């Protein structure tokens, strides 16, 4: 989104509840037309950010700009922003069409236009034909679609979605993730989605903000966040990670270093300059680790000795828990291939573990 324009800008927002400070000088730019996700653990302040954008909360200080105009004084109902809540918040006594058309009726739109826009919105969420049903006659997934239709029918500039899929079962959630992405692309509305589910964040978003304790930790594409986490919090929060503690022993080339990990020397690339003697974490995702039988270990490569603690079959992959001789426990994940004899490791079998140079990601140890 190199040439994207900023639509929504939060500048140095401070927000507390009583003596508890939730956001302190929180700043964020969201681009026009992007699917933006705020990801973080429970209580980190995600919903507060969303409620400030919606106008349900007022900041103690700071600015919220939409199209460069400060919207602090604009009441929630007059902001070009709609929210889809986790609870759907449908009116139980109204039909699907009445629920979806509610906001338009409040805005005194003509009956004919309401009818047309409701039909369009229901078509987008694949609920054409459901106009006269009542909420209690719908499944959870269908209720969620009505809630989305009710928001998009208003043609907001920004659609806020608060944990909107979390009430759905796993399969339906995955299906709705794809559909939400399609709806967003089709309508070109800026979506700001809040979740604590990393898989959801990675699969739907153009960009993700990872937050902790009210502080932005990293902002980037799903790939950047997963493959190049900036700190241990992001690395750990976004899926499984193996951590090797090491010390930079030599600089080989520009941004290429020899890292000594408890006597095992690995060549690792870094995205920033390191000094000899720096303590680092070398991070490897489970799918980036290689396991070999001890007798098959490559002679010209350095690696780690360990033994298999546990094996589990997930359908797509075989996951192996390995106890290294240095005390570290690793998780490796390999695509399942039943014809490959390497998939026969037994519990307690001794194995050799390593990775292909360049597949690691290095961050500095210690506080940021």
Q: What are the residues binding ligand ATP (CB under 6 A)?
A: 17, 22, 40, 42-48, 196
Q: Least distance (Å) from ligand ATP to the CB of residue 184?
A: 21
Q: Is the CB of 44 or the CB of 248 nearer to ligand ATP?
A: 44
Using CA atoms, how far apart are residues 65 and 38, in angstroms rounded to an integer? 18
Residue 336 to residues 317, 330, 340, Cα–Cα distance (Å): 5, 18, 9
Q: Is the CB of 60 or the CB of 287 nearer to ligand ATP?
A: 60
Using CA atoms, how far apart are residues 33 and 154, in angstroms rounded to an integer? 16
Q: Least distance (Å) from ligand ATP to the CB of residue 49?
A: 7
* Location of structure tokens 């790939």: 223
Do residues 193 and 85 make contact, with C-beta atoms less than 8 angstroms apart?
A: no
DSSP conformational letter for 4: P
Q: Is the CB of 219 or the CB of 309 nearer to ligand ATP?
A: 219
Q: Least distance (Å) from ligand ATP to the CB of residue 48?
A: 3
Using CA atoms, how far apart are residues 300 and 291, in angstroms rounded to an integer? 15
Q: Least distance (Å) from ligand ATP to the CB of residue 167?
A: 13
Q: Least distance (Å) from ligand ATP to the CB of residue 196?
A: 5
Q: Is the CB of 18 or the CB of 188 nearer to ligand ATP?
A: 18
Q: Is the CB of 215 or the CB of 256 nearer to ligand ATP?
A: 215
Q: Is the CB of 58 or the CB of 132 nearer to ligand ATP?
A: 58
DSSP conformational letter for 43: T
**CB pairs under 8 A, 24+ apart, for 65-69?**
65/8, 65/9, 65/11, 66/7, 66/8, 66/9, 66/157, 66/158, 67/7, 67/157, 68/9
Q: Is the CB of 162 or the CB of 360 nearer to ligand ATP?
A: 162
Do residues 306 and 351 make contact, with C-beta atoms less than 8 angstroms apart?
A: yes
Q: What are phi and psi of 91, to 5 degrees?
A: -80, 120
Using CA atoms, how far apart are residues 159 and 81, in angstroms rounded to an integer? 6
Q: Is the CB of 88 or the CB of 257 nearer to ligand ATP?
A: 88
Rounded to 10°, the helix 96-106/111-124 angle is 130
Q: Least distance (Å) from ligand ATP to the CB of residue 290?
A: 37
Number of CB atoms found within 10 A of residue 113's CB: 11
């Amino acid at each position: 989104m190199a040439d994207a324009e900023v639509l929504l800008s939060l500048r140095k927002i401070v927000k507390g509840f009583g003596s508890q400070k939730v956001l302190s000088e929180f700043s964020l730019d969201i681009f026009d037309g992007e699917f933006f996700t705020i990801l973080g653990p429970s209580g980190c302040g995600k919903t507060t950010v969303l409620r400030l954008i919606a106008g349900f909360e007022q900041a103690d200080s700071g600015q919220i700009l939409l199209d460069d105009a400060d919207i602090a004084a604009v009441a929630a109902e007059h902001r070009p922003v709609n929210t889809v809540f986790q609870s759907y918040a449908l009116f139980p006594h109204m039909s699907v069409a009445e629920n979806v058309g509610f906001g338009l009726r409040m805005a005194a739109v003509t009956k004919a236009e309401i009818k047309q826009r409701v039909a369009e919105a229901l078509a987008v969420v694949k609920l054409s034909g459901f106009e006269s049903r009542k909420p209690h006659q719908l499944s959870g997934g269908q209720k969620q679609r009505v809630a989305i239709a009710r928001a998009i029918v208003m043609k907001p500039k920004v659609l806020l979605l608060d944990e909107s899929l979390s009430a759905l079962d796993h399969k339906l959630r995955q299906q709705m993730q794809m559909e939400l992405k399609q709806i967003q692309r089709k309508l070109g509305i800026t979506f700001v989605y809040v979740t604590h589910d990393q898989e959801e964040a990675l699969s739907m978003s153009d960009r993700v903000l990872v937050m902790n304790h009210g502080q932005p930790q990293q902002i980037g594409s799903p790939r950047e966040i997963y493959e190049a986490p900036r700190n241990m919090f992001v690395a750990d929060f976004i899926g499984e990670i193996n951590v090797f503690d090491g010390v930079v022993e030599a600089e080989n080339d520009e941004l290429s270093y020899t890292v000594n990990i408890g006597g095992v020397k690995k060549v690792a690339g870094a995205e920033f300059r390191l000094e000899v003697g720096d303590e680092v974490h070398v991070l490897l995702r489970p799918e980036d680790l290689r396991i070999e039988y001890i007798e098959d270990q490559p002679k010209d490569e350095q690696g780690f000795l360990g033994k298999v603690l546990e094996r589990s079959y997930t359908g797509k992959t075989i996951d192996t828990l390995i106890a290294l001789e240095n005390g570290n426990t690793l998780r490796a994940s390999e695509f399942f291939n039943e014809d490959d004899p390497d998939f026969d490791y037994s519990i307690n079998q001794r194995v050799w573990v390593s990775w292909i140079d360049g597949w690691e990601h290095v961050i500095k140890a210690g506080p940021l």
